[in-house]
Amino acid sequence: MTDLTREADPPPPAPPAAVDLILAKRDGRELTDAEIAWLIASYTAGAVPDEQVSALLMAIYFRGMTPAELRAWTSAMISSGERLDLGAVAAPTVDKHSTGGVGDKVSLILAPLVAACGAAVPQLSGRGLGHTGGTLDKLESIPGWRASLRADEMVAVLNSAGCVICAAGSGLAPADRKLYALRDITGTVDSIPLIASSIMSKKIAEGTAALVLDVKVGSGAFMRELPAAQELARTMVALGVEAGVRTTALLTGMDVPLGRAVGNAVEVEEAVATLRGEGPPDLVDVTLALAREMLTLAGIDADPAAALADGTALDRYRLMIAAQGGDPDAPLPQARHREVLTADQEGWLRRLDARAVGVAAWRLGAGRARKEDQVNHAAGIVCLAKPGDRVAAGQPILELRTDDETRFGPAFAALAGATAVAPEPGAAGPLVIERITTG
């Protein structure tokens, strides 16, 4: 017999209204885990419109996030999609993420280098936007190379080559793709909590056991000032550690382009030269510092400098490129037109501004203004001199390359004031500025 006197279960609580969350954040109230989880899930599903999330992002931009809010926000972004399972990978997994710079082709060298030392490196990378280059754009200079891999293909490449560099699949943190596109058009990109959650949601969902963050600092970096870079690094390290990913960060300098090549095919050429033992000292030093950090987190006692010197890292690179459909021996695109920027006087090159060089390379066709733009893989800049070099009046400092001669004018305009020659050499700043291990 049914007990008619039993009280009915209370109805589930009504979902919050998006406008209430906007008002709460605007007025400084901390959002709860449940509110954040509802918002991210509802926005990903299309149930909350862009204009309301735009308002919330602007409130976050000005109010920031508490550590609890940021944990919940990042967790909700991860939960918006799938998580990769790397359980079938035999070697210990460790990845690296760079916040982006000019001439930063480190990933092309670092992934096979660390793989040659016994780790597995599952690197999900992105494309360039504005003055910073993208790893996928660089590798797509190689005929046949594929950026898009299924999860099973990614694991297969990891097990055969020890490393893989590919694009994140559409199912990985889909909330981040929607939120980043919105931030890009609403002036809310420059928010440390939103930057940290964007980066770390994808890296945690990637399934790697350990992660090293290369946070660039200087004129060519996203974070130009050291305190902001330190805060971003600490925030990301804390998110990784809290999620069970062994995470550290290195702050590295980006006032000067890294290495001598800036572009796509030209950076691939320099990366391969470095794997042959012919790399510029600054690029080699930063790469080895990151490699040692990655191997430490992976629990591997190996010397990456030896793997770079004996050719085993180059062998891993060739395996990775071939496994992703590329021909490591194929000629790379070459620009049809070249011009040079020369020194205006004799002396020591004291300044070569990374941001100006990055913008000039972008204007030559190496970068894109919008995500849907195409890049010219042959376009770019080669630094024929770097700060600390002695130059003669009229000596070429930069070689500009493009397939479209009309691009030289805007590129040279971007380089106005980018170089300085002085009677005495200047003191070089440190390449590795700081190591951060806790949030």
Catalytic residue among 63, 71, 177, 202: 202
* 310 vs 66: CA distance, rounded Å: 48
Q: Which candidate, 128, 137, 125, 190, places its Cα nearest to that of 359?
A: 128
Paired with 124 in beta bridges are 166
Query: 63, 71, 97, 203: which is the annotated catalytic residue?
Result: 97
**Whether the Cβ atoms of residue 282 and residue 83 lie closer than 8 Å to each other:** no
Is residue 183 annotated as a catalytic residue, yes or no? yes
Q: Which two tokens stand for residue 367?
A: 């970068």
* Cα–Cα dist 205/82, whole Å: 7
Widest CA span in the chain: 102
Backbone φ and ψ of 304, nearest 5°: -65, -30
Contact 259, 105 (CB under 8 A): yes
What is the spatial distance between Cα 107 and Cα 114, in angstroms, rounded to a whole number?
Answer: 10
Could you tell me if 379 and 368 are in contact, meaning their C-beta atoms sit under 8 angstroms apart? no
How many angstroms from the chain centroid is the CA of residue 396? 31
Query: Which residue in the list 98, 198, 201, 219 is annotated as catalytic?
Result: 198
Q: Is 95 a catalytic residue?
A: no
Instruction: Identify the CA nearest to 168 among candidates 117, 119, 126, 211.
Output: 126
Catalytic residue, chosen from 95, 176, 282, 353, is 176
> Which residues, including other chains, have CB under 8 Å from residue 390's CB and lie 6 or more apart?
347, 348, 349, 425
The rounded distance, in Å, linking the Cα atoms of 44 and 434 is 37
Catalytic residue among 71, 138, 183, 246: 183
Active site residue 202: yes
Catalytic residues: 97, 176, 183, 198, 202
